[in-house]
């Protein structure tokens, strides 16, 4: 369990909070490139780390992320006109560029100097791997561009999506590093989802529902190993990387694409759950991409025109009690992502961790909390950059592998965790 103070420390991410500052030192995914499809396209509302912002692409294709509200009288710039190199408030015509500079106040003379005194909060964005990323920390500490493998492979090898999840980022992330629930919550889904079925590793998951966990600290975060019995000589290891503050990669299954998540706080009660799929050595097949686009695997179908899942708390996630009873779905809820989201959201907006009763299979979660607490306090008290900022920390893979029972998983799979461009993942 956690004390209330520690729970607050880890879950609160607004401006000025220790964990919020950890997030602000990283490049964070906030938009899919298609949300800003062209120059002077309509602006997009963005809320991240409890800040309300507007994203736009100007006439030259430059990306801007600025305070949502006009400095004049607080009109939302979502209503603004994106034109001629900036976004113009429709109320009185005040205009801003991608850096938040006020470039025109039509009611005032050009030599008044008033424009020079007006500036909106603005954050730099970059576009990489079909995703638009933002950095919200001190300009002088801007890290190098992110180098996660899924955004470095060819465009035909990768697919990313996002959805709104109605709970704090931490309980969503903790679900992402909890391998023990796979044998239960996802029990009947593994063998029918087109992006999971057919892998030999599924059999080991279903045969042994009592994994033993070993957690190894690495630069950037943790390697969380879940060990299951495979045969007389080998264990089946599924090893999940956690790179602080919020990157996880699910261990692979067969030659299916590799996948994982980021959970980016919108505010303290909701988050953007990012899901990515990629294959290091080949293009995604037409069938794989179609499955992802229709919301299979770790992706979801949406309510049209939104990023809110079609299955959500208001419709009880379309739970099917007959399927739950008759073996169609262990929880009665369809799809990996919403099986996870339903239980995580059921905990409430921020789960009360003072009431927990953790067990040995929660070791990964316990260690991740320690990594995050240390990162937040070291940044706040000593100015030490948090783990995960260094692109070298990002060059990591998840692993699924049979390893002799006498061997240490970290030593045996040391080479498998390394990114090797064009070489397939280590998988069972």
CA distance 407 to 78: 57
Q: How far apart are CA 261 and CA 305, in angstroms?
A: 22
Looking at domain 149-412, which CATH architecture does it have?
Alpha-Beta Complex (3.90)
- What is the rounded distance in angstroms from the CA atom of residue 165 to the CA atom of residue 356? 22
**d(Cα 345, Cα 273) in Å, to the nearest integer?**
12
Which residues face 238 on adjacent strands?
226, 400
Q: Which is nearest to 12 in space by CA: 3, 2, 1, 23?
A: 23
Where in the sequence of the chain do the CATH 2.102.10.10 domains occur? 27-141
Q: Give, for all 428 residues of the chain, the pLDDT tens digit.
A: 899 999 999 999 999 999 999 999 999 999 999 999 999 999 999 999 999 999 999 999 999 999 999 999 999 999 999 999 999 999 999 999 999 999 999 999 888 899 999 999 999 999 999 999 999 999 999 999 999 999 999 999 999 999 999 999 999 999 999 877 877 888 778 778 888 888 888 888 888 888 899 999 999 999 999 999 999 999 999 999 999 999 999 999 999 999 999 999 999 999 999 999 999 999 999 999 999 999 999 999 999 999 999 999 999 999 999 988 888 888 999 999 999 999 999 999 999 999 999 998 899 999 999 999 999 999 999 999 999 999 999 999 999 999 999 999 999 999 999 999 999 999 99
Alpha carbon separation from 376 to 73, 372, 405, 416 (Å, rounded): 36, 6, 37, 30
Residue 54's alpha-carbon distances to 19, 30, 80, in angstroms, are 23, 11, 10
Name every residue whose Cβ is closer than 8 Å to that of residue 397 and which is 6 or more positions away in sequence. 149, 241, 249, 258, 280, 416, 417, 418, 419, 425, 426
Which residues, in sequence order, are CB contacts of 3 under 8 Å at separation 6+? 354
Task: Indicate the CATH number for domain 27-141.
Answer: 2.102.10.10
Smallest CA-to-CA distance from 222 within 243, 246, 192 is with 243
Q: Is the CB of residue 165 less than 8 Å from the CB of residue 172?
A: yes
DSSP string, 235-265: EEEEEEEEETTTEEEEPP-TTSPEEEEEEEE
d(CA 230, CA 404): 10
Is the CB of residue 235 less than 8 Å from the CB of residue 286?
no
- Report pLDDT for 209: 81
Q: How far apart are CA 202 and CA 254, in angstroms?
A: 9
> Residues of CATH 3.90.380.10 domain(s) within the chain?
149-412
């Amino acid at each position: 369990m956690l004390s209330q103070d520690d729970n607050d420390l880890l879950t609160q991410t607004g401006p000025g909070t220790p964990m919020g500052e950890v997030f602000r030192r990283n490049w964070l995914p906030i938009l899919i490139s298609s949300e800003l499809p062209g120059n002077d396209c309509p602006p997009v509302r963005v809320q991240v780390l409890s800040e309300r912002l507007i994203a736009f692409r100007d006439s030259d294709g430059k990306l801007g992320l600025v305070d949502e509200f006009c400095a004049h009288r607080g009109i939302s710039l979502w209503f603004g006109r994106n034109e001629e190199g900036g976004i113009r408030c429709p109320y009185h015509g005040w205009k801003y560029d991608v850096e938040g500079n006020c470039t025109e106040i039509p009611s005032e003379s050009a030599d008044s100097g008033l424009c020079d005194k007006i500036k909106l909060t603005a954050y730099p964005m970059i576009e990489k791997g079909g995703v638009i990323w933002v950095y919200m920390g001190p300009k002088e500490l801007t890290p190098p561009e992110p180098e996660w493998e899924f955004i470095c492979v060819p465009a035909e090898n990768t697919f990313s999506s996002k959805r709104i999840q109605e709970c704090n980022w931490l309980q969503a992330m903790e679900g992402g590093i909890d391998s023990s629930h796979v044998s239960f919550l996802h029990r009947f889904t593994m063998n029918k989802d087109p992006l999971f079925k057919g892998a030999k590793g599924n059999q080991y998951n279903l045969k042994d529902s009592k994994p033993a966990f070993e957690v190894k600290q690495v630069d950037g975060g943790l390697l969380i190993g879940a060990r299951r019995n495979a045969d007389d000589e080998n264990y089946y290891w599924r090893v999940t990387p956690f790179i602080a503050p919020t990157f996880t990669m699910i261990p692979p299954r067969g030659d299916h694409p590799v996948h994982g998540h980021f959970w980016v706080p919108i505010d303290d009660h909701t988050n953007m759950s990012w899901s990515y799929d990629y294959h290091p050595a080949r293009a995604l097949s037409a069938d794989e991409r179609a499955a992802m686009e229709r919301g299979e695997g770790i992706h979801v179908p949406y309510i049209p025109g939104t990023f809110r899942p079609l299955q959500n708390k208001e419709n009880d996630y379309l739970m099917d009690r007959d399927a739950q009873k008759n073996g169609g779905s262990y929880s009665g809820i369809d799809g990996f992502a919403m099986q996870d989201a339903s239980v995580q959201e059921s905990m409430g907006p921020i789960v009360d961790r003072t009431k927990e009763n953790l067990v040995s299979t929660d070791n990964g979660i316990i260690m991740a909390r320690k990594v995050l607490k240390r990162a937040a306090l070291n940044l706040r008290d000593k100015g030490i950059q948090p783990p995960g900022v260094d692109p070298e920390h990002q060059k990591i893979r998840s692993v699924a592998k049979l390893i002799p029972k006498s061997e240490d998983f970290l030593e045996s799979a040391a080479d498998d965790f390394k990114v090797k461009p064009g070489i397939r993942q280590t998988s069972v």
